[in-house]
Structure 1
């Protein structure tokens, strides 16, 4: 396991600067989004997941089934509800010819009053002749159908193509997809074109957006696929998947101004490093082929993706059925860019404890100590899983996200993140009673189990467990917003 120790930056001037920046960016305690918590995985043996939130109050979920022979659909009023929702087969592969094999990566969209499913398929007699196809339904409930085949999406080349998705920006609808272009020695690149007279036709210029050339894009295979767009803060963020579909699979990102022409390749800038990748610490391997949705309250963007919970695969990864659908919250940096963090451990998704009286500051671990800090990097240093308390039911413990098995505990009244040694003392030191925040409704406070009346709070740029002295300063510093 890597050390928790990191180089320590100069703190006095930096802390002051960050406090000023935070006060400008986050004018009050209400800056923190409500805590969004789910339990992963959402669905076993479902890869390339796509979750679409519709205006009818339902989330619609489709994904690749490991048999590669059908398109499935679920719906529920919550994201977590998709885990137990009944699954309907809305379409099956043909017994011969086109759309007869490798039914991959379906996406469901609602366009101009109708439902559309984009998917990739091979031929029954040539399974690797993968092309993109579209289904259409006018039914109010797409699980009940019926569905009409609208045929193949025609692109400039009759070559391997897949992972079609669609988005609207500045009032114009576009298609994004992955394709193998003649003359370029890659498995797939990313392309964009404007949609034509209907949702299965493109028109005008086709633009190549990126070719996989970087080391993390070319492990096993030279791949750029699975595009997805998130537009926020005056910019477009286009995530895509790279490399082979084993533990090397990861997400890269292109960025453009929201006011720019997306058909101009020069509008987009590729990040030099992956934005989401395997985490051996959390036991998550090959995260990728993502989509985006929003939380039930509409306040948080949610990253939807698949991965495996083991590294070693026997044979071709495409024949391994155990990619699972997972979700976690997208956080936003002060500069307006998304921070996906790391694929979090299985089980309950983590939260951040945001300071009530120092807006923009989160509790994080650094050299094992816990302290408040703005703009935490890496993000996972400030993420904790709220789990059943080590000292028993009715209590909670805070487990480090990037160091599972390490918990926030107090020692000599100082707050640390340390490995659970199994002792009675550690379990008590790392257990808290969750209370309504001492600062009032909307916040939480954490009272020590073995020192009743003592609360987790921050003071002098560190975190402590100290006795409530009844002052407003204490109540504020011992209250947190869960984000």
Structure 2
């Protein structure tokens, strides 16, 4: 079920050309406005969460998490745990979210959205009746059929890529084998270019010349069974969930894959010729992704769509003390404390927004006093209005890390005093260095919904 996703939306003129040749258009049509960047969908994050996360990039290399790397949407159907989230654009310009529901489920999760912010019409769609798992679903538009093809990884005696066709993501045809090179494969991802459909996949075998690595096949059509392998291993052993995007500035492509045993570490490779099968690994530091990313995919968005996502305020959240779990961070005037039985509840609710001093970090905006933020002053935490100064922005920006006392929770490191963390002391919030076990417990919090 692994981690993967990806597809890039092409310029409208190219879409028309592809449709005329019967090529795949993953995520389908282009946004109405010219593309201005990419959006990454993934699960994981810090702390780990089986829900939809989003990030954005303007160059396809450096990605900034939205909502402070916290979930932007949690499903309320099935197991309520969504893995391998895939977001694609339909022919009408709206979006569909697909996700793996469970390790051994015959169903996938499906949601609809017009704006990538509000997800509605949640439903479980049964993809097979053979007790196969349905991992890592993606979809493409098949112009010849006038329907969407949903591809996914299923298993009988071994894993293959299957397809169901649908006009509406509600009713689907019976599954059929879409891609089977004769050995165990998962995590298929289609990327069309210049009349050819390229299918990237994971060799799931544990032995052989390309075990647990990413390869590619290609076809001039979308016909099931028409793809042929044309590369050796593109990535190292221990990778899965590939997705591919094209640079918007040149004929260059980037392939990302998840080092699935490393807990949210990705590798990236590049080529200037998809047909050659030759890829070069990018050095660490030449690309950045949010911490904890698992099984991702990406698609293009317009400037207006990107601006709307960057301005969105998900949440709100409460910060629950690790070692005093009946107490939550709250404001009382400008004073910041941890208290039990907070009233009104909104005094303990915050929206996580891109860091005022650095969008890769986070700031905490009060729900009931919008425009005011959690900030430190003389190493004491306060809630104050943003005065627009560089000093305020630095004081109100924090790096969210894995919890110092519990890695499934979070700790908040000061942006401008990176040797100090938010911790409680006598129930009040202060900014201090953290060394002892007590310090670490005091500086660890759970992010919870109200």
**TM bucket normalised to smaller:** 0.5 to 0.7
Indicate whether 1:238 and 2:255 are aligned.
yes
**TM-fit CA distance, 1:103:** 1.9
Alpha-carbon contact 1:160-1:179 (below 8 Å) kept: yes
2:278 counterpart SS class: helix
TM-score (norm 2): 0.54
**TM-fit CA distance, 1:302:** 8.7
Cα displacement string for residues 339-394 of structure 1 (whole angstroms, at most 9, x for unaligned residues): xxxxxxxx8554255xxxxxxxxx35xxxxxxxxxxxxxx73xx3334217xx624
| Counterpart pick for 1:266 among 270, 278, 287 | 278
Distance 2:123 2:71 in 1: 22
TM-score (norm 1): 0.50
| Counterpart pick for 2:299 among 279, 293, 301 | 293
2:224 counterpart SS class: coil
**TM-fit CA distance, 1:46:** 0.4
List structure 1 segments (4+ residues) > 4 angstroms apart after TM superposition. 35-39, 272-279, 300-303, 462-465
1:72 counterpart SS class: strand
Distance 1:89 1:267 in 2: 38
Indicate whether 1:153 and 2:186 are aligned.
no
Q: How many residues align?
A: 284
Alpha-carbon contact 1:193-1:203 (below 8 Å) kept: yes
Indicate whether 1:427 and 2:382 are aligned.
yes
Indicate whether 1:89 and 2:44 are aligned.
no
Alpha-carbon contact 1:207-1:263 (below 8 Å) kept: no
Pair 205,170 (structure 1): closer, same or farther in 2 beyond 3 Å? same
Alpha-carbon contact 2:82-2:101 (below 8 Å) kept: yes
Q: Which residue of 2 aligns with 1:117?
A: 150
Q: Which residue of 1 aligns with 2:365?
A: 387
| Counterpart pick for 2:81 among 45, 51, 56 | 45
2:296 counterpart SS class: strand
Q: Which residue of 2 aligns with 1:106?
A: 137
Q: Which residue of 2 aligns with 1:193?
A: 217
Distance 2:390 2:264 in 1: 40
1:385-424 paired onto structure 2 within 5 Å? 385-388=363-366, 393-397=369-373, 407=375, 409=376, 421=380
2:190 counterpart SS class: strand
RMSD between superposed Cα atoms in Å = 3.9
Q: Which residue of 1 aligns with 2:164?
A: 135
**TM-fit CA distance, 1:206:** 1.9
Alpha-carbon contact 2:72-2:117 (below 8 Å) kept: no
**TM-fit CA distance, 1:458:** 7.8
Distance 1:161 1:135 in 2: 18
Q: Which residue of 1 aligns with 2:51?
A: none
- The structure, 1 or 2, with the larger RCO (C-alpha pairs under 8 Å, 6+ apart) is 2
